[in-house]
Amino acid sequence: MSKTGQQGFDVLNGEIPRHLAIIMDGNGRWAQKRGLPRTLGHKQGVEAVREAVKAARDIGIEYLTLYSFSSENWNRPEAEITELFGLLRMFIRRDLADLHKNNVCVRIIGREKGVPEDILLLLDEAQNLTRDNTAQTLVIAFNYGSRDEITDAVKRIATDVSSGKLSVEDITDKTISNAMDTANIPDPDLLIRTSGEIRLSNFLLWQIAYSELVFLECLWPDFSKSDLEDAIKTYQGRIRKFGGLVMETGS
């Protein structure tokens, strides 16, 4: 079935992904190619985030998950981490009102440990203000690592078993999904990674079991609506079998 987004984007002969996840990679290389400090690459990356959120909303994507700061990013230089935190503060303070106006629900996944208190307060404010919005859900993976998430989920389930709330025999894949940070969020249909790197970098490892993966050569600060449209067209050219078979009909 063909479908057209709010701004007239014809998505050809398939449905648009309900949930899109993006590994936003290449800020540093974007700056390096131009002889600029890495911090300017991150600043330009924030502008790309703004455009990507709007483009996804215009196209009609219901859930957008962005990998903004991984648990491994703590290994970067302290000055760069400080800059990344400052950019997050700026994004929330500058864009939260607009997100709320456009009926976007903000949800944060990841661990709170180590995150500055003022940022935790801003993230809580964003979630509380927008929790009842329904047009789109913007999931920000901040201080997030998939192995950490899975470990925490196992601990929650083990605690329920230990307390008698749950029996081992009743544990299913749904039990595990419900113990994840992404509980009640559908699994991604499409995952995009920019910068030409072909790896998952500890992102949503449980959730992307049957996602379609598209790796783009463009660096994240250069990511545009046309790149998003091209990735969706690639997605629509795939046959999603979810471990089964697609039976051909006719002769």
Q: Residue 225's CB: how many other CB atoms inside 10 A?
A: 17
Asked about 25 being catalytic, the answer comes back as yes
Q: Helix/strand/coil (H, E, C) string of the chain?
A: CCCECCCCCECCCCCCCCEEEEECCCHHHHHHHCCCCHHHHHHHHHHHHHHHHHHHHHHCCCEEEEEEEEHHHHHCCHHHHHHHHHHHHHHHHHHHHHHHHCCEEEEEECCCCCCCHHHHHHHHHHHHHHCCCCCEEEEEEEEECHHHHHHHHHHHHHHHHHHCCCCHHHCCHHHHHHHCCCCCCCCCCEEEECCCCCCCCCCCCCCCCCCEEEECCCCHHHCCHHHHHHHHHHHHCCCCCCCCCCCCCCC
Catalytic residue among 25, 95, 181, 189: 25
Catalytic residue among 13, 58, 73, 95: 73
- List active site positions: 25, 73
